[in-house]
């Protein structure tokens, strides 16, 4: 209990006597000014004797003095010297007495799905803050990236400088630290409490950590008159008066965690009592955490900051620490693979193009925790990441609060988690359909109203509905951090990955023709690639959808004859592998090889004898190509494309060397080499018909005994006829068709076609409902034309 009496210190008495002298009053006059019947309390005051607290304070105010600078702590401390040295001694003693309690309270963290609590210092990573609160900025939609400027690396936020949080703590004593769910607010306060108590940071302060949700659960405490007792009922100070003296002198670091976790009915009262508290104990250092959308009642004289996403360096640090922890956290002391190698593999794999959606998620600490858990099972990410996205959403919508024993208010908006998921899915789909990644609040509210009327059959009138929609959006934003305010009145999904998954969720649960058609219309749009693939995973019956995709691809490419001829060439070259399981990959290699080969041949102005040499070199390469491709090892079409380009580059380099070595002025030597190549080809096992045709071509060549000038003239006059015969021979064998040049439009169409084939193959892999026969049927039509 707070002591009823106060006493002036010796220094305080001297200050009071000087003030009394300046006033020119008598003790009787001062007693009357304070409202006392006798001057005895005035005499006790100036004599350093204890008097009632309220009388002591009134005397100080009458003399224009600060009671905190005049008084000792309590009657129990009449004989103590309360100078700076003794205050520091109090702080040190209280730190020691609370060390075990604070270690239990703040020194351990329970990480997501890790079976045992772990030491905070083993996982903590220093965080940064944003100098400007995002949702407080006055920006326009035009200030954010448009759909055409949108990056596939993730949801682009207008960049802000990041400031180490410790830098801000050195500048401000009163801070409200805002952060989205799982951003690390609680962990930050716990780390500061431990560092302070151990003396590594602000060793002059006594740290006190309080979870506000615990304080608010007892309504009797909140309604009591003495808020100091309520607030510090968890503190280690046995003497509340001693603690009050530290508060008055600013020797306390007060860490209040989770203002957003306090029920709304109690929050207003709590804010009022905190305001009164800080008016008296304004010298203390106080940090309060809260989610941005839940911070509605501003605390005077508090600076607001917001935690920033993790940087690449912070991600790397967390990952290294996480796998070290997992390596030792098994209840049965079973260790995983080398944690350093595992961390390195994680960081390498998230840089892969197919894992770009994970790179976007792991900027949030709680989702980085989840991604590490998924990875550590097999030292790789699953090919189908649907379960990861589902778990991430479940954490933000439900599980993160449950694991910490938090019950959110449902009075303002009686909207269940499944209903929130359905609404968010609809909003994600509609926004993507309209190429909206950022949306003004008024348009967002229109979408919600439409959803409630047409999909939930709401019977509320328009005015009631509009108010209800505002409550719904505010509840979703404040409780889950999935739909967030990026600037004043401008919203977006917190993660692009979640927006894509939710849109796919809506499509899979509403497989109407018009919805499917939306996906088909965006088939070649890279921003819709993930949505199409996730839809394949989520659909209970994907065959119809995949059939529509394949038909669309084939119909589009069939519009151009040169593209059709190119694809027939691919099919012709792939015939030796027709019954092989590697057929799709071989076709991919051939497609890529043919595309780059076509470009290289167009870049060369070959004619006459030089062209003949190039054609034969190509045929020699094709013989070798079949030998190379047989043991080919590629895992997917993306790798097949790269392998095809590698082979085409190799062919181009070999051809360049051959042509360079044959640029000799003696046409006789060039023709001799040409004849040698033809004879070499005849000796290879190329089939009897081809060997006969090549022998005929050898017989048609002029004699090497012919003089140089007549030989040159023959190549200038008769050489074109001979070349035409050579091209016909190659064409009949399927080797000459791609010499027909492709224009830019055809190349673009074929690149688009190939990208769609890759998408279709991945869609087939994601579709878990397809039988082997149906899957084989789709694969047999790849690289074909309708």
**Has residue 370 got a pLDDT over 50?**
yes
pLDDT of residue 230: 60
Q: Per residue in 153-192, pLDDT tens?
A: 444 466 678 899 999 998 899 999 999 999 999 999 999 9
608 pLDDT band, cuts 50/70/90, is: confident
Q: Is 535 exposed, middle or buried (0-12, 13-18, 19+ CB in 10 A)?
A: buried
φ/ψ of 51, rounded to 5, equals: -135, 165
The packing angle between helices 496-509 and 513-521, to 10°, is 140
Q: Per residue in 322-332, pLDDT tens?
A: 998 877 655 43
Q: Is 676 exposed, middle or buried (0-12, 13-18, 19+ CB in 10 A)?
A: exposed
Q: Is residue 145 part of a domain?
A: no
695 and 657 within one domain: yes
210 and 175 within one domain: yes
Single residue among 254, 283, 307 that ends a domain in this structure: 307
332 and 263 within one domain: no
Average pLDDT, rounded, for the chain: 83
Maximum distance among all Cα pairs of the chain, rounded to whole angstroms: 143
Q: Is residue 600 part of a domain?
A: yes
Closest CA to 500 of 399, 371, 419, 393: 393
Domain of 75: which CATH number? 1.10.260.40
Min mean pLDDT across 403-407, 491-495, 586-590 is at 403-407
Q: Is residue 445 part of a domain?
A: yes
H-run or E-run covering 288: strand 285-290
pLDDT of residue 257: 94
346 pLDDT band, cuts 50/70/90, is: very high
557 and 535 within one domain: no
Q: Is residue 613 part of a domain?
A: yes
168 and 95 within one domain: yes
Q: Per residue in 78-119, pLDDT tens?
A: 444 445 557 888 888 888 888 888 999 999 998 887 778 899
Strand bridging mode 206-211 / 252-257: parallel
**Has residue 774 got a pLDDT over 50?**
yes
SS3 call for 760? helix
Q: Is residue 409 part of a domain?
A: no
Q: Per residue in 646-658, pLDDT tens?
A: 888 877 776 666 5
SS3 call for 303? strand
Q: Per residue in 508-519, pLDDT tens?
A: 998 887 888 899
SS3 call for 402? helix
742 and 714 within one domain: yes
Return the ∠ at Cα 355 (arms to 353 and 359), rounded to 5°. 105
H-run or E-run covering 51: strand 51-52
DSSP 398: I
What percentage of the chain carries pLDDT values higher than 70?
85
Single residue among 343, 375, 403 that ends a domain in this structure: 403
CA dihedral 776, 782, 784, 786 (to 10 degrees): 80
Q: Tell me which residue range forms the domain holding 532.
A: 417-540
Q: Is residue 142 part of a domain?
A: no
- d(CA 683, CA 698) in angstroms, rounded, equals 13
Question: Residue 422: how many CB atoms within 10 A of its CB?
Answer: 19
Please give the sequence-ordered ranges of beta strands (E in DSSP) within 555-674, or none if there are none. none
533 and 465 within one domain: yes
426 and 389 within one domain: no
694 pLDDT band, cuts 50/70/90, is: confident
pLDDT of residue 402: 72
How confident is the model over 487-493, as a mean pLDDT? 92
How far CA 180 is from CA of 260, 370, 399, in Å, comes to 11, 16, 15
- d(CA 431, CA 436) in angstroms, rounded, equals 5
DSSP 310: P
3-state secondary structure 496-513: HHHHHHHHHHHHHHCCCH
First-to-last alpha carbon distance for the chain, in angstroms, is 88
Return the ∠ at Cα 275 (arms to 270 and 280), rounded to 5°. 125
Q: Is residue 786 part of a domain?
A: no
How far CA 178 is from CA of 110, 157, 459, in Å, comes to 21, 17, 37
Q: Is 567 exposed, middle or buried (0-12, 13-18, 19+ CB in 10 A)?
A: buried
How far CA 237 is from CA of 106, 188, 232, 255, 345, in Å, comes to 17, 24, 8, 16, 49
Top pLDDT among 338 and 225 is at 338
Return the ∠ at Cα 652 (arms to 604 and 600), rounded to 5°. 40
φ/ψ of 473, rounded to 5, equals: -65, -40
Q: Length of the chain in residues, anyone?
A: 786
Closest CA to 516 of 492, 552, 555: 552
Closest CA to 674 of 719, 709, 634: 719
CA dihedral 3, 6, 7, 9 (to 10 degrees): 90
What percentage of the chain carries pLDDT values higher than 90?
35
Q: Per residue in 181-224, pLDDT tens?
A: 999 999 999 999 999 999 999 989 999 999 888 775 554 455 55
Q: Report DSSP letters for 82-97, one per residue.
A: -SHHHHHHHHHHHHHH
19 and 165 within one domain: no
Single residue among 514, 540, 566 that ends a domain in this structure: 540
pLDDT of residue 335: 46
User: Taking a C-beta distance cutoff of 8 angstroms, is the pair 180, 484 a contact?
Assistant: yes
User: Taking a C-beta distance cutoff of 8 angstroms, is the pair 127, 180 a contact?
Assistant: no
660 pLDDT band, cuts 50/70/90, is: low
684 and 554 within one domain: yes
Q: What share of the chain is helix, strand, coil (3-state, %, to 5)?
A: 60, 5, 30
b/e burial code for range 148-177 (CB count within 10 A of at least 16 → b): eebeeebbebeebeeeebeebbeeebbbbb
DSSP 399: I
How confident is the model over 400-407, as a mean pLDDT? 71
**Has residue 659 got a pLDDT over 50?**
yes
User: Taking a C-beta distance cutoff of 8 angstroms, is the pair 491, 483 a contact?
Assistant: yes
380 and 352 within one domain: yes
Q: Give me the number of domains the chain comprises.
A: 5
Q: Report DSSP letters for 142-156, one per residue.
A: GGSPPGGG--TTS--
User: Taking a C-beta distance cutoff of 8 angstroms, is the pair 112, 369 a contact?
Assistant: yes
269 and 296 within one domain: yes
11 pLDDT band, cuts 50/70/90, is: confident
R_g of the chain, CA atoms, integer Å: 39
User: Taking a C-beta distance cutoff of 8 angstroms, is the pair 259, 267 a contact?
Assistant: yes
How far CA 303 is from CA of 177, 286, 593, 741, in Å, comes to 9, 11, 61, 67
**Has residue 138 got a pLDDT over 70?**
yes
| β-sheet bridge partners, residue 288 | 176, 256
Domain of 177: which CATH number? 3.40.50.300
pLDDT of residue 80: 42
User: Taking a C-beta distance cutoff of 8 angstroms, is the pair 389, 498 a contact?
Assistant: yes
Q: Is residue 740 part of a domain?
A: yes
DSSP 677: H
Question: Residue 49: how many CB atoms within 10 A of its CB?
Answer: 14
pLDDT of residue 656: 65
């Amino acid at each position: 209990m707070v002591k009823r009496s106060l006493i002036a210190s010796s220094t305080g008495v001297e200050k009071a006597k000087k003030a009394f002298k300046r006033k020119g009053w008598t003790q009787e006059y001062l007693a009357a000014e304070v409202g006392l019947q006798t001057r005895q309390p005035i005499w006790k005051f100036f004599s350093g004797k204890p008097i009632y607290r309220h009388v002591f304070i009134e005397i100080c105010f009458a003399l224009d003095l600060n009671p905190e600078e005049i008084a000792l702590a309590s009657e129990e401390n009449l004989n103590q010297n309360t100078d700076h040295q003794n205050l520091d001694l109090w702080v040190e003693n209280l730190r020691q007495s609370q060390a075990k309690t604070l270690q239990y309270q703040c020194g351990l963290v329970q990480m997501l799905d890790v079976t045992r609590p772990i030491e905070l210092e083993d996982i903590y990573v220093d965080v940064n803050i944003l100098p400007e609160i995002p949702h407080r900025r006055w920006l326009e939609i035009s200030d954010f990236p448009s759909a055409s400027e949108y990056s596939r690396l993730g949801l682009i936020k207008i960049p802000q400088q990041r400031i180490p949080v410790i830098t801000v703590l050195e500048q401000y004593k009163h801070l409200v630290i805002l952060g989205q769910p799982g951003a690390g607010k609680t962990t930050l306060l716990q780390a500061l409490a431990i560092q302070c108590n151990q003396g590594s940071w602000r060793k002059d302060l006594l740290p006190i950590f309080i979870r506000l949700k615990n304080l608010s659960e007892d309504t009797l405490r909140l309604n009591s008159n003495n808020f100091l007792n309520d607030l510090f009922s968890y503190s280690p100070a046995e003497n509340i008066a001693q603690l009050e003296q530290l508060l008055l002198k600013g020797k306390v670091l007060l860490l209040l965690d989770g203002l957003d976790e306090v029920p709304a009915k109690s929050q207003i009262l709590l804010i009022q009592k905190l305001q009164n508290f800080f008016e008296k104990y304004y010298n203390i250092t106080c940090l309060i955490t809260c989610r941005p959308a839940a911070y509605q009642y501003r605390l005077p004289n508090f600076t607001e900051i917001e935690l920033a996403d993790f940087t690449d360096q912070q991600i790397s640090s967390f990952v290294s620490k996480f796998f070290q922890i997992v390596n030792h956290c098994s209840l049965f002391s079973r260790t995983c693979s080398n944690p350093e190698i595992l961390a390195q593999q994680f960081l390498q794999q998230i840089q892969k193009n197919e894992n770009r959606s994970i790179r976007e998620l792991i900027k949030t600490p709680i989702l980085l925790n989840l991604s590490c858990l998924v990875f550590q099972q097999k030292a790789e990410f699953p090919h189908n990441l649907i379960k990861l996205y589902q778990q991430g959403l479940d954490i933000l919508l439900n599980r993160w609060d449950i694991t910490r024993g938090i019950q959110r208010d449902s009075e303002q908006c009686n909207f269940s988690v499944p209903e929130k998921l359905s609404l968010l899915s609809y909003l994600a789909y509609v926004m993507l359909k309209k190429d909206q990644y950022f949306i003004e609040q008024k348009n967002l509210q229109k979408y919600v109203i439409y959803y409630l009327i047409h999909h939930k059959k709401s019977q509320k009138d328009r005015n009631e509905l509009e108010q209800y929609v505002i409550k719904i959006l505010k509840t979703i934003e404040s409780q889950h951090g999935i739909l967030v305010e990026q600037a004043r009145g401008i919203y977006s999904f917190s993660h692009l990955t979640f927006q894509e998954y939710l849109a796919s969720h809506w499509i899979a649960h509403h497989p109407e023709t018009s919805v499917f058609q939306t996906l088909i219309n965006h088939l070649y749009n890279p921003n819709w690639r993930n949505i199409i693939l996730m839809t394949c995973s989520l659909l209970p019956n994907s065959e119809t959808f995949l059939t529509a995709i394949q038909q669309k691809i084939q119909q589009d490419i069939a519009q151009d004859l040169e593209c059709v001829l190119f694809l027939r060439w691919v099919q012709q070259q792939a015939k030796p592998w027709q019954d092989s399981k590697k057929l799709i990959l071989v076709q991919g290699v051939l497609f890529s090889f043919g595309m780059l080969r076509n470009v290289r041949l167009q870049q060369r102005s070959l004619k006459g004898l030089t062209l003949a040499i190039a054609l034969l070199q190509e045929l020699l390469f094709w013989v070798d190509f079949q030998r190379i491709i047989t043991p080919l090892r590629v895992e997917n079409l993306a790798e097949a494309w790269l392998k095809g380009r590698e082979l085409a580059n190799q062919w181009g380099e070999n051809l360049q060397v051959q042509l360079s070595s044959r640029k000799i002025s003696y046409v006789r030597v060039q023709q001799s080499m040409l004849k040698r190549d033809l004879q070499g080809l005849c000796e290879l096992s190329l089939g009897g018909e081809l060997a006969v045709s090549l022998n005929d071509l050898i017989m048609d060549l002029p004699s090497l005994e012919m003089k140089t000038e007549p030989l040159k003239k023959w190549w200038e006059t008769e050489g074109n006829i001979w070349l035409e015969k050579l091209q016909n021979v190659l064409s009949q064998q399927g080797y000459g068709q791609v010499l027909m040049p492709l224009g830019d439009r055809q190349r673009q169409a074929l690149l688009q076609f190939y990208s769609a084939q890759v998408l279709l193959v991945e869609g087939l892999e994601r579709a878990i409902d397809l039988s082997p026969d149906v899957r084989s049927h789709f694969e047999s039509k790849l690289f074909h034309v309708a």
